[in-house]
Structure 1
Amino acid sequence: MTPGGGGPMKDCEYSQISTHSSSPMESPHKKKKIAARRKWEVFPGRNKFFCNGRIMMARQTGVFYLTLVLILVTSGLFFAFDCPYLAVKITPAIPVVGGILFFFVMGTLLRTSFSDPGVLPRATPDEAADLERQIDIANGTSSGGYRPPPRTREVIINGQTVKLKYCFTCKIFRPPRASHCSLCDNCVERFDHHCPWVGNCVGKRNYRFFYMFILSLSFLTVFIFAFVITHVILRSQQTGFLNALKDSPASVLEAVVCFFSVWSIVGLSGFHTYLISSNQTTNEDIKGSWSNKRGKENYNPYSYGNIITNCCAALCGPISPSLIDRRGFIQPDTPQPAAPTNGITMYGATQSQSNMCDQDQCIQSTKFVLQAAATPLLQSEPSLTSEELPLPGKTTLGTPCATLSLGQPTPPSSMPNLTSETVLTDMIPLKEEHDGHQFLTPEEAPSPPGMLSTGSPITHSHTLHVLSLASQDSLHEDSVRGLVKLSSV
């Protein structure tokens, strides 16, 4: 109820005032919210992402699907046609062990294929420019010739000199043991190789899962092949070899697939077991980068000198976090507020924002100088005594002045015909609009260049002499020219 006993108070609706900078013609309520994008959506490498960036694979995944089909079909036929007979004739533990191996193989395969192998993030434009500047400084920019400067750095690791190569795609110096994958177009930390069978690179973050995959797949292949042959032999003892093949044609298909694949899988497992025991990568072994003997010059600086320690370092160490943060949000650029123009083109509007801010501060300071310096020129009384001198923070005018409009200074080029009225109208702020500011007195204001000529009889003293009309106009014109020069600095 209102205090006067009237009707109920009407509900007032308040609209929230937008504090963000917007154009005068744009309403804050009509702005559309831009959905934040994740980093995997703009990832520069040649990769495919699924499940909102949780799954990361190479772009060529055809061979990976072939791997899945071979494992699923072979294992499915084994569990469907061989395991029932073997569980009755031999032991029920056969399908149990086969199931454990199958799930372990599938788990390590998917973990290897769907994870980040250790991709190194590319340099930002600022980081790339800074690195290029460091390279130019290190190699010298005065050296003539057409050959580009060397793009290598050297570091010492366990007494061995290791060269760090520059990646022209990622704009970084690759860490030790890192290499650029041409298929995925990424620099991978501790790069081993690109494996099309798993559809991904094999690097620092998924190498242990790759090794467990091929090792468990070797056991599964040998396990299926051995018990398929056992199944055929047991049936052939009862009904003959040909009848056994006719009764279980799936066993024949399984035996053929396992026979041709077991050699490559077992051989690959043995090769990577050797690499783990010596703490090398496939890339380093193919290039012959290191030797296993400590006495040689190119001995492996990453080896611990013990097989067990090397295996523990490769398989049991902590997994480093992903460096690309593929599910993180892209941070939008912080918008910088534009300087108000009020319909007037500012001098130096094409400069950067910081220069504009410095110019605004300079213009504001010049306005205060104009306020103080122009005060004696506006006097209508013949003289000003020491008792009537204006104090700091106050302006004393002899006669009431017309209302002055506040504006912004423009350069001399934009005002070819300057008059004292227009300059004072645009330059001098009102007292009411700048209440609380400390203005300079005529004694404190410095004389700009060109304002007073040498030997002028007018000096700052406690008593100002009467100015003639002609000298006042001349002084007025000179002071305006000098102060406009100050305002355009």
Structure 2
Amino acid sequence: MGVLCGGPLRGAWDRACDRCFRLFPCLSDPARRSALSLKLALVMLHLVFAGVVFVLDNDLIQKTRQEPWYTVSYVILFVATLVQYFVTSGTSPGFVLEAQKAIDERDALERRTLLASKQPASSKNGSVFITVDRTNYQRGNASAWTKLVMDLYPPGSSPRNLTCTYCNVIQPPRAKHCHDCDKCVLQFDHHCVWLGTCIGQGNHCRFWWYICEETALCIWTSILYITYLKSNISRAWWADVIIILLLVALLISLIFLLLLLLFHSYLIMTNQTTYELVRRRRIVYLRAIPERVYPFSKGICRNLYLFCCAAQSSSKYRMEALPSAEELEEKTRPYKCSDVLSCRCCC
């Protein structure tokens, strides 16, 4: 009997799943289904935490009628946080294969232009530029990517030791293969489970803004909860229990968000990544550098500029060369009073 009942039901379920997968091909991948479920769960959590206080707090509803700007500002922050979440999760972190493909396409375009005009290829051909420490690096041959990357390492480095065994591509400095995404990422920071993607050069700035907005939203929502408890603590005990439980969860999340925000702000000002900070002794080209020396730092002001402005250009991949021995010696020099006056740490 169970087989007779289970057979038709099983067949109907399989047909429904097949129809759903045809309408939404992305759902056929288990990893994408898991990421989509996680995104829906996060949206529902936001709706629950923000909606409960508006449902239970009559004083807040009355205040909204008298001062609508207060609630409108909160709703704007709420929507902006969710939009920033989806924008960050949908932004490419900067895959190495994408940069290599961009080089190949640009070189092919330059060759066609050269053959058509019988003139030297112009640096303006193509829309993709590879920026290497303030210089637009242009190559016109098939090994442009190899020459570009090898120039970022000290002389004598072996391409074999720098080639990813999974992607079969030569990695520039600060790149790493992500086993979750199965791709090499420029300036790899970490793989974020909540976003379902890597954090790298292409989306690190958006990730920081998302944490900032999420922290502000969490603080504001906690203030609404505390205000409710102060004015309605003796009206309905069950509502108080719900608010207190949600407030505890909010405060725990707020502590985590604040620590994460401060940590990534420190990384930005010193031009580091989480991977470089945590796994420094495992990275070959960073082992010999003292712990308190930030090899890629160019001063706080320029680090902020590169992070906020230069890294957001969609037509440019930024790769940094390893510092020379003279630069490292300058970075290890102790600070003096004159260095403070000259803003050595900023410039």
Can you list the C-alpha shifts for 1:171-197, whole angstroms capped at 9, x where unaligned? Answer: 111112111000110011111110001
Whole-angstrom distance in 2 between the partners of 1:176 and 1:316: 21
Alpha-carbon contact 1:120-1:323 (below 8 Å) kept: no
SS in 2 for 1:173: coil
Can you list the C-alpha shifts for 1:265-289, whole angstroms capped at 9, x where unaligned? Answer: 1111111111111111111111236
- Asked if residue 88 in structure 1 is aligned to residue 80 in structure 2, the reply is no
Deviation of 1:89 (Å): 5.2
Whole-angstrom distance in 2 between the partners of 1:81 and 1:162: 65
Whole-angstrom distance in 1 between the partners of 2:214 and 2:315: 27
Deviation of 1:212 (Å): 0.7
Percent sequence identity is 29
Name the structure 1 match of 2:45. Answer: 70
Aligned residues between the structures: 237
Superposed, 1:17-56 pairs within 5 Å as: none
- Aligned match of 1:261 in 240, 253, 277? 253
Alpha-carbon contact 1:119-1:323 (below 8 Å) kept: no
User: Would the alpha carbon gap of residues 180 and 318 (structure 1) be closer, same or farther in structure 2, given more than 3 Å must change?
Assistant: closer
Deviation of 1:244 (Å): 4.2
SS in 2 for 1:180: strand
Alpha-carbon contact 2:202-2:311 (below 8 Å) kept: no
User: Would the alpha carbon gap of residues 77 and 317 (structure 1) be closer, same or farther in structure 2, given more than 3 Å must change?
Assistant: farther
Deviation of 1:154 (Å): 7.2
Deviation of 1:300 (Å): 2.5
Alpha-carbon contact 1:190-1:204 (below 8 Å) kept: yes
Name the structure 1 match of 2:277. Answer: 285
Deviation of 1:255 (Å): 1.3
Superposed, 1:385-424 pairs within 5 Å as: none
Deviation of 1:234 (Å): 1.1
Can you list the C-alpha shifts for 1:422-470, whole angstroms capped at 9, x where unaligned? Answer: xxxxxxxxxxxxxxxxxxxxxxxxxxxxxxxxxxxxxxxxxxxxxxxxx
Name the structure 2 match of 1:176. Answer: 173
The amino acid of 1:305's aligned partner reads: G
Deviation of 1:162 (Å): 12
User: Would the alpha carbon gap of residues 155 and 214 (structure 1) be closer, same or farther in structure 2, given more than 3 Å must change?
Assistant: same
Superposed, 1:201-280 pairs within 5 Å as: 201-236=198-233, 240=234, 243-247=235-239, 250-280=242-272
Name the structure 2 match of 1:401. Answer: none
Length-normalised TM-score, structure 1: 0.42
Name the structure 2 match of 1:317. Answer: 310
- Aligned match of 1:112 in 88, 107, 112? 88
User: Would the alpha carbon gap of residues 315 and 185 (structure 1) be closer, same or farther in structure 2, given more than 3 Å must change?
Assistant: same
Superposed, 1:2-17 pairs within 5 Å as: none
The amino acid of 2:79's aligned partner reads: F
Whole-angstrom distance in 1 between the partners of 2:291 and 2:224: 50
SS in 1 for 2:305: helix
- Asked if residue 300 in structure 1 is aligned to residue 294 in structure 2, the reply is yes
User: Would the alpha carbon gap of residues 155 and 266 (structure 1) be closer, same or farther in structure 2, given more than 3 Å must change?
Assistant: same
Whole-angstrom distance in 2 between the partners of 1:181 and 1:87: 47
Alpha-carbon contact 1:58-1:184 (below 8 Å) kept: no
Whole-angstrom distance in 2 between the partners of 1:162 and 1:96: 58
Alpha-carbon contact 1:275-1:281 (below 8 Å) kept: yes
Whole-angstrom distance in 1 between the partners of 2:80 and 2:299: 31
- Aligned match of 1:198 in 195, 199, 213? 195
Whole-angstrom distance in 1 between the partners of 2:252 and 2:51: 18
Whole-angstrom distance in 1 between the partners of 2:267 and 2:310: 16
SS in 1 for 2:97: coil
Per chain length, whose mean CA-contact separation is higher, i.e. which structure has more relative contact order (CA < 8 Å, sep 6+)? Answer: 2
Alpha-carbon contact 1:116-1:205 (below 8 Å) kept: yes
Whole-angstrom distance in 1 between the partners of 2:222 and 2:279: 35
Length-normalised TM-score, structure 2: 0.57
Deviation of 1:217 (Å): 0.6
Can you list the C-alpha shifts for 1:374-409, whole angstroms capped at 9, x where unaligned? Answer: xxxxxxxxxxxxxxxxxxxxxxxxxxxxxxxxxxxx
User: Would the alpha carbon gap of residues 154 and 162 (structure 1) be closer, same or farther in structure 2, given more than 3 Å must change?
Assistant: farther
Deviation of 1:302 (Å): 2.1
Whole-angstrom distance in 2 between the partners of 1:162 and 1:229: 60
SS in 2 for 1:66: helix
User: Would the alpha carbon gap of residues 275 and 218 (structure 1) be closer, same or farther in structure 2, given more than 3 Å must change?
Assistant: same
Q: Unmatched 5+ residue regions in structure 1?
A: 1-49, 135-151, 325-489
SS in 2 for 1:118: coil
User: Would the alpha carbon gap of residues 227 and 298 (structure 1) be closer, same or farther in structure 2, given more than 3 Å must change?
Assistant: closer
Whole-angstrom distance in 2 between the partners of 1:262 and 1:165: 40
- Aligned match of 1:185 in 177, 182, 201? 182
Deviation of 1:201 (Å): 0.9
Alpha-carbon contact 1:115-1:206 (below 8 Å) kept: yes
User: Would the alpha carbon gap of residues 298 and 165 (structure 1) be closer, same or farther in structure 2, given more than 3 Å must change?
Assistant: farther
Whole-angstrom distance in 1 between the partners of 2:227 and 2:181: 44
Alpha-carbon contact 1:225-1:255 (below 8 Å) kept: yes
Whole-angstrom distance in 1 between the partners of 2:164 and 2:225: 51
User: Would the alpha carbon gap of residues 322 and 309 (structure 1) be closer, same or farther in structure 2, given more than 3 Å must change?
Assistant: closer
User: Would the alpha carbon gap of residues 214 and 280 (structure 1) be closer, same or farther in structure 2, given more than 3 Å must change?
Assistant: same
The amino acid of 2:175's aligned partner reads: A
User: Would the alpha carbon gap of residues 312 and 199 (structure 1) be closer, same or farther in structure 2, given more than 3 Å must change?
Assistant: same
Q: CA RMSD in A?
A: 4.0
Alpha-carbon contact 2:201-2:311 (below 8 Å) kept: no
The amino acid of 1:219's aligned partner reads: A
- Aligned match of 2:163 in 166, 171, 186? 166
